[in-house]
Structure 1
Amino acid sequence: MLAAMDLADDLSDSPSPLPVLTVSELNRMARRALESQLPLLWVEGEVSNFTRAASGHWYFSLKDAAAQVRCVMFRGRNQFAGFTPANGDHVEVRALPSLYEARGEFQLGAEQIRRAGAGRLYEAFLRLKTKLEAEGLFDPAKKRALPRFPRRLGIVTSPQAAALHDVLTALARRMPGLPVILYPTPVQGAGAGAQIAGAIRTAGARAECDVLLVCRGGGSLEDLWGFNDEAVARAIAASPIPVVSGVGHETDFTLADFAADLRAPTPTAAAELASPVRRELLLQLGQLARQLHRHHARRQHGEMQRLDYLARRLVHPAEQLRRQRDGLDQLALRLRNGLRARLTREALRMARFAQQLVTPRHAVQREQQRLAALAGRSGRAVESALARRRLTLARLTSSLAHLNPDGVLARGYAIVQRQDGRVVQDAATLAAGDTLDLRLHRGRARTRVESTSVD
């Protein structure tokens, strides 16, 4: 009892007691610690307890012989997976380790999923692709155009493959009667790559067809691996016959696609790319025949019109001589009329010149008359100007007389000035005893101021 009391005292006296966390805070700290310490990684295992929720999310577990872990793959990620896993599938998941806080459960948030082993195959595919690309095996400049009208088609595929049925169905629809030669070969399994390459070389050596289709249906990366064989890619690149690759579906790519002259997304599309449409060819042929007929008819009509024109131009020599004589007569008549009109115009021109020709005496008389007229006009102009100047002078003289101060003085007025010559205008400025000068109309006078008054 004493020891327990001592321990309680020690805990109560501790300077920094541990914080008390809620379960939510603890789980949140654990999740953050996990996500910060464990990076995005690949995990391999067997799928179990797979469930697709109504929201589209996937929930499953990955297990091996000793342990298991829960996984979730949200709809935004699983729609790009390319397949839906099932219980028992062996897969590889690229995921971020985390903790589901609501339940405190450790789980993996899956970003990608692939079948186990597909990653290694894809890496091998990329290494081989890089190698062959560096050798120029996939150079676009080496790609050959397909013949527009192939006489025979060769097909490299398995006789039991669904791709063969798809190709033959498409050819029957587009170009019935087009000969087809099958070069049978397994398209998957051990040794399939070598057999596919051998069939391609056989087709090239026989030279029986104009276009070679290398095709098979869709499948996993392992199923299509025979078409990623280096021997297949080299056989396609070395083929003397243009090759169309139609392997898998639209999203599947193999080395055969890169080495071929043309890649088709499906076997059916390969058949469509390699063969023309019989119906369209017949329509084009009919259109060309109609164009040829119209061109021939236009040419025939044109030649007939040309023949008629030449026939009209064909004239008897006597008729040609008569036409030439008529032409000469017309020219002679035009020449005579032209000379007559020219002589008339020249006579009129000479008459105008004769009228304009004047003797020197007449010229002198005309100039004298012109000078007399100018002298009269000049005299009148001078008299008129002098009259205007006289009127102006009289007006200015009258104005000056009105402004002359002598005229004002003559009427009895006087100019009052101080001794210094300043004019007095206001009596208030004067004082008794001031001496002033008076300027009269005739003479001057001096006076003294006795008194002043301002009215």
Structure 2
Amino acid sequence: MSNLRAPGSGHLYCTLKDDTCQIRAVIFRSTASRLRFALEDGLCLVTRGKVTVYEPRGEYQIVLEYAEPKGLGALQLAFEQLKQRLTAEGLFDPARKRPLPYLPRTVGLVTSPTGSVVRDMITVLHRRCPNLGILVVPVAVQGEGSVEQIVEGIQALNDLELADVIIVGRGGGSLEDLWSFNDERVVRAIAASRLPIVSAVGHETDVTLADFAADMRAPTPSAAAEAAVPVLSEVLNRLGELDNRCRQAMVRRCADERRRLALCFAHLARLRFTLLAAAQHVDGAVLQMAQALRNLVKRRREQVHAATHGLIAASPQARVHHGLTFMPHLFARLCKVMGHQLDRRRREVEACMDHLHHLSPLAILSRGYSIVESLPDRRVIHEARQVEIGQDVLARLAQGQLRCTVRETISDPSV
């Protein structure tokens, strides 16, 4: 098969070929819906159909009415394809599997109500645990409608929550007889169950997809019953042994604790004498501390008393009072000394003023002299040659100033 096409109409179109030739083929929707496996390119098929002519293209084609994989049955191929797909989804992951309860109170059986399988499982369950509750959900395990009944039985036990573990099983048979337990709906119902499920389908050599999805696979229904429920007598014997061991352990533990308690009492007696001795030592230390505090307080009071007398003796109040009696006399002496100093300083200042007056150029000007300055730079003129004829000069007198114009310069001072 090659060039497989699946349009929305539901019909399948492909090409069938061998080493030397090829021909178009069509599988109508009614036939395709009955196929138990998925078609894919490269699949070798054994087919049956009738040859027709597709008039729009004038080509021969085969309308297939039956198809089966060559060398592998359709059911087996469908089994492998569905197994691969569900494995990829993680439905068979061992991490999803849950442990079975150790001692369930009620076991749910999803199986056919007739036949030896249900009787064998009930017999084994009652033999191993006589007071066990058994809830049988009767379903068809093969044929039309069996898939829906198995799925509804599993869901009903989960919804009622009356069972602790579920066993889904049937007797042996052909692949077609066991096919209901390879249906995807049954596999997904087992994987989605909140209660742990034991799969017991067929004999030990029979393998179904329900075995992979269940939390535990049993080779036979009877083995499933044995795996789901322990032997009650063995459990009781084990509990009796554990009870004896617990009693013995408690007796030994009580004896050990009594010995430890006696040692603790002895230790407490020694500790009591130690505490009494320590208390006596503490009392002595307290007395010594009280006496030391009293002595320290006494010494500090004596020191404070001595410091108080010293402060009184060194008080500046007496010195201040003594000093106040000498203040008027000292003030009078200070005023007298200051008067003498002021008179001496006044005479010295007057002498300096007379000396400065004699040295002042203003005193010279009062005797008829003058100071001549050039204009406009106001430089003092010492020689006649420092000015020119027609130049303005300024003559400073003892009283006032004269602005003069040079009409003639005479170099000889005797003229």
TM-score range, shorter chain: 0.3 to 0.5
TM-score if structure 2 supplies the norm length?
0.46
